[in-house]
Chain A
């Protein structure tokens, strides 16, 4: 086998405080849960921590429940746990369906919602849900509003050594998600999460398409607030220059995909609609 990971010291703490102490005691430590982004990055020589701290054995990061009217999902919950949870399916069914559309069976068995949100991959699914549902990212030291959390491509408000312990989601009046997958990689080329929050306000979050990662499409929100219909989106402005243009889709084509996915998300509230 030609691929060799750079060497590191591996630790599997069973408490949050031990994990934090390990990180604090190391010059270049990284946290690992499922490892499905970090290990490929390390194989590619793009990261070489001297310490890897495995978070999967920490009970505080697990669990899915309703508390104080909010859906709480532990940062360590795997995608399969979220997709199969009766609690999630009852509270926010589209979120369970979104989780079930991530990667494939084997990846969903390992990948975690906390890891996905901490990484903020521009084509990841969860960031759009977190943003459109006005969720809160709870860490070992504070709570961060979704709108303040995603700060750019692969960038978040997390400080070094900060751990996503949970996400809390208000229960929306309705919500839908539509994703157009890259036919080869299967990551989102354009995906849109549309929600009507409990207070009646509209949120539209786009992933897979933005130059700066996940973003709220304000013009679509305004259009849908006036008229919650697919047709209302026809006139919503979307600057192609704010979108990724690459070998798979030009900026103009991606803009069209975003609009089509937004329409599908509006038309199919309660569902995750997946297209290839």
Chain B
């Protein structure tokens, strides 16, 4: 079948087999390999992307089911060389080590901050990372990074920038 997905703002029309998963579409058809596959059983969350405004595990979504959808992957976060605040926070707080889970963590963090804004609490972060497994950081620095990014994104812009 033919599908059209809007990935990181760009439309991609592809002829695919009906059985292709969204994560396969991203990695193998579009060569966006930042989205990882850890378990392929909907447990680890390394494959998390934002689809039509909500976080989903792309290993358990058919690409056919995502036809017409807006999808944001890890590749869509930075603006050129400028890191997204969540990426910057993970770097600053050493929120990664091997980095395998990191794309899923970052996408989930972006989703969380979008939904909760300044009201995000550490307890909420820990609860909502239920769907993202990490095997090497012990999560503490991930939680710190997310709280830091949330604070940074909630901070009012300096007056001079507002004026301009």
Contact = CB atoms under 8 A, between A and B. Distances in A.
B52 to A, nearest CB: 10
Contacts of A39: 21, 60, 62
Nearest to A54: B65
The B interface is mostly helix, strand or loop, or mixed, namely mixed
Given A6-B19, A10-B64, A106-B45, 14 more contacts: A3-B40, A4-B19, A7-B17, A10-B62, A36-B42, A54-B62, A54-B64, A54-B65, A80-B54, A104-B45, A104-B131, A105-B55, A106-B57, A110-B57
A90 interface: no
Interface string B101-136: 000000010011000000000000000101110000
Main SS at interface, chain A: loop
Interface residues of B, number: 32
Contact of B37 (A1, A5, A52, A106): A1
Interface of A: 1, 3-10, 12, 32, 35-36, 39-40, 43, 52, 54, 56, 80, 103-107, 109-110, 186
B150 to A, nearest CB: 16
11 contacts: A1-B40, A10-B18, A12-B65, A32-B62, A32-B65, A35-B65, A39-B60, A52-B18, A52-B62, A104-B45, A106-B56
Contacts of A1: 23-24, 27-28, 37, 40
B130 A9 contact: no
A35 B67 CA distance: 15
A5 B19 contact: yes
Contacts of A43: 40-41
Contacts, number: 81
A56 B19 contact: no
Contacts of B67: 12
B61 interface: yes
Contacts of A7: 17-19
B1 interface: yes
B73 interface: no
Contact of A8 (B18, B24, B27): B18
Chain A CB count within 10 A is highest, among B1, B23, B48, B65, for B65
A181 to B, nearest CB: 10
Given A1-B28, A39-B60, A105 B42 contact: no
Going nearest first, the 3 A-B pairs with the smallest beta carbon separation are: A104-B131, A10-B18, A104-B130
Interface of B: 1, 17-19, 21, 23-24, 27-28, 37, 40-42, 45, 48, 54-57, 60-62, 64-65, 67, 108, 111-112, 128, 130-132
A80 B130 CA distance: 15
A12 B1 CA distance: 12
Contacts of B18: 7-10, 52
B100 to A, nearest CB: 15
Contact of B131 (A10, A54, A80, A105): A105
A192 B137 CA distance: 35
B111 A105 contact: yes
Given A5-B19, A43-B41, A105-B128, A10 B1 contact: yes
B60 to A, nearest CB: 5
Nearest to A104: B131
A107 B65 contact: no
Contacts of A109: 54-56
B108 A105 contact: yes
Contacts of A3: 40
Contacts of A10: 1, 18-19, 62, 64-65
A134 to B, nearest CB: 31
B19 A106 contact: no
Contacts of B17: 7
A103 B55 CA distance: 13
Nearest to B132: A104
A187 B115 CA distance: 25
A191 B60 CA distance: 26
B86 to A, nearest CB: 16
Contact of B56 (A5, A110, A186): A110
